[in-house]
């Protein structure tokens, strides 16, 4: 891979630290690929997505095709044809998983999770990323690649596109028939799952994006994506005080706003569950367990916001949702995969919040 120093070291923690340090130094300017102004900048990992000002700047997703209910489409909504590769740790992948459960699509679209902690994806370079376990049972909740024999998510992208040099991210909506990535942008995958698979969904009547709430959903998504979903990453990956301070301020202004909204209604767009709630939930459920410590989002804990905290419990207790939350993977991933933030990979013991505890939201907003 251009710009990264080949290494023969194994993937234990110390080597991961060295590898990340090398990736960081490449991102900081010792790599021809990362500094060339004539070439398109393609991030290999989140650590490459930090600008010269020290702020985190996410790269857009690459595969943007759509599955359609139209049987003659290139990617028709057919049962058994697609597989969703996720990491239980990843909030973006988890929102897709939540849709599989809510729409009753988990029998028509298979899914599997990678291992929680980034590892070397090649012997020949030091890229760190998502890998599959060698066998079932190696890591509870993670499965070997059932269709392509891939060792890593990077392998999958290279099957789909031989010259793919971007960041190999999850989620991946995979077409088993054409052996390619249909789409790797979760905001688009969830829209497809909501509307295109109703012919094979067990819960086709559930519309998480109804026309009459569209404007409100888009408005909430606008606030939540930038300030909260991506905002926590901006806090965590900032490499200078200024961008961190700015991201934290924006994050807590948005959380305060959500707290206020949720004091008046059960969900973010009224008293009906919508896409906006699924998108907010995946960040809130990780907040106190990970983001508060690992990403330095500790100005206030989720547990100190009565409405947001009870709302998170309310969402968690929707049938099917708790199965999409694997706190073991979440904690292992964040604390173990970013050695530049947590060099020794130590996982804090707390706080083990009980999201199954009672809340009063159903009765409050009858
Ligand atoms: N825009 C993408 C973002 C997905 C994304 O950033 N996924 C992260 C995990 S939470 C990932 O796979 N990162 C790989 C890496 O950093 O190497 C989406 O929403 O689907």
Q: So what's the pLDDT on residue 47?
A: 65
99 as an active site residue: the answer is no
Question: How much is the average pLDDT of 334-347?
Answer: 97
Q: d(Cα 112, Cα 67) in Å, to the nearest integer? A: 19
Note if the bond before 170 is cis, omega within 30 degrees. no
Is there a shared CATH topology between the 82-196 domain and the 211-338 domain? no
Judge: domain 82-196, CATH 3.40.50.720: no
pLDDT above 70 covers a percentage of the chain that reads 87
d(CA 172, CA 189): 9
46 CB within 6 A, ligand 1:
yes
User: Phi and psi dihedrals of 83, rounded to 5?
Assistant: -130, 140
Each domain of the chain, given as residue ranges in start order, spans: 82-196, 211-338
Place of tokens 């499965």: 143
**Could you tell me if the CB of 121 is within 6 A of ligand 1?**
no
Task: Give pLDDT, residue 157.
Answer: 97
SS3 content of the chain, % helix, strand, coil (to 5): 40, 10, 50
For the CA of 118, the closest atom of ligand 1 is 17
Confidence of residue 350 (pLDDT cuts 50, 70, 90): very high
Q: Work out the average pLDDT over 81-94.
A: 98
Of 44, 92, 98, which is best to mutate to test ligand 1, by the most ligand atoms within 8 angstroms of its C-beta?
92
DSSP character for 99? H
Using 50, 70 and 90 to split pLDDT, how confident is the model at 25? very low
Give the pLDDT confidence score for residue 57 in this predicted structure.
87
Among the atoms of ligand 1, which is closest to the Cα of residue 44? 17
How many angstroms separate the alpha carbon of residue 92 from the centre of ligand 1? 7
Q: What is the pLDDT of residue 4?
A: 27
* 226 secondary structure, DSSP code: I
Helix H or strand E encompassing 175 = strand 172-175
- To the question of whether residue 168 is assigned a binding role by annotation, the answer is yes
pLDDT for res 42: 53
Confirm or reject CATH 1.20.1050.10 for domain 211-338, answering yes or no: yes
* pLDDT > 80? residue 239: yes
316 labelled catalytic: no
Instruction: Specify the pLDDT at position 230.
Output: 98
pLDDT band at 153, cuts 50/70/90? very high
Which one of the listed residues 15, 90, 96, 235 is annotated catalytic? 90
Query: In terms of DSSP H, where are the helices of 225-358?
Result: 231-237, 241-261, 275-286, 292-294, 306-316, 327-337
pLDDT band of 48, cuts 50, 70, 90: confident
Q: Whose CA is nearest to atom 19 of ligand 1?
A: 186
pLDDT score of 12 more than 50: no
The phi-psi region of residue 80 (left if phi > 0; otherwise alpha if psi is between -120 and 50; otherwise beta) is left
pLDDT class for 33, splitting at 50, 70, 90?
A: very low
330, 292 Cβ separation under 8 angstroms: no
Q: Is 301 helix (H, G, I), strand (E, B) or coil?
A: coil
């Amino acid at each position: 891979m251009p710009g990264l120093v080949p290494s023969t070291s194994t993937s234990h923690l110390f080597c991961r630290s060295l590898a990340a340090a090398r990736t960081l130094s490449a991102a900081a300017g010792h790599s021809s690929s990362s500094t060339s102004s004539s070439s398109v900048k393609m991030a290999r990992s989140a650590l490459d997505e930090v600008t010269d000002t020290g702020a985190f700047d996410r790269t857009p997703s690459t595969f943007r095709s759509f599955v359609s209910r139209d049987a003659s489409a290139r990617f028709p909504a057919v049962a058994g044809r697609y597989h969703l590769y996720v990491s239980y740790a990843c909030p973006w992948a988890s929102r897709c998983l939540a849709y599989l459960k809510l729409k009753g699509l988990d029998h028509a679209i298979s899914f599997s999770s990678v291992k929680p902690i980034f590892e070397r994806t090649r012997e020949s370079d030091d890229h760190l990323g998502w890998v599959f376990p060698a066998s079932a049972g190696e890591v509870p909740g993670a499965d070997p690649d059932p269709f392509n024999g891939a060792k890593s998510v990077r392998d999958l992208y290279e099957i789909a596109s031989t010259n793919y040099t971007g960041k190999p991210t999850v989620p991946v909506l995979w077409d088993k028939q054409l052996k390619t990535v249909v789409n790797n942008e979760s905001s688009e995958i969830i829209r497809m799952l909501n509307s295109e698979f109703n012919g094979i969904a067990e819960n086709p009547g559930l519309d998480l994006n109804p026309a009459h709430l569209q404007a409100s959903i888009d408005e909430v998504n606008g606030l939540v994506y930038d300030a909260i979903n991506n905002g926590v990453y901006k806090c965590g990956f900032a490499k200078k005080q200024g961008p961190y301070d700015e991201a934290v301020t924006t994050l807590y202004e948005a959380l305060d706003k959500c707290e206020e909204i949720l004091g008046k209604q059960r969900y973010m767009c009224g008293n009906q569950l919508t896409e906006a709630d699924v998108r907010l939930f995946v960040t809130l459920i990780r907040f106190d367990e990970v983001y508060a410590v690992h990403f330095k989002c500790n100005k206030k804990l989720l547990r100190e916001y009565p409405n947001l905290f009870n709302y998170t419990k309310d969402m968690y207790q929707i049938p099917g949702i708790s199965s999409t939350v694997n706190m073991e993977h979440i904690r292992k991933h964040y604390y173990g995969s970013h050695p530049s933030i947590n060099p020794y990979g130590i996982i804090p013991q707390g706080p083990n919040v009980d999201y199954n505890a009672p809340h009063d939201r159903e009765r409050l907003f009858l």
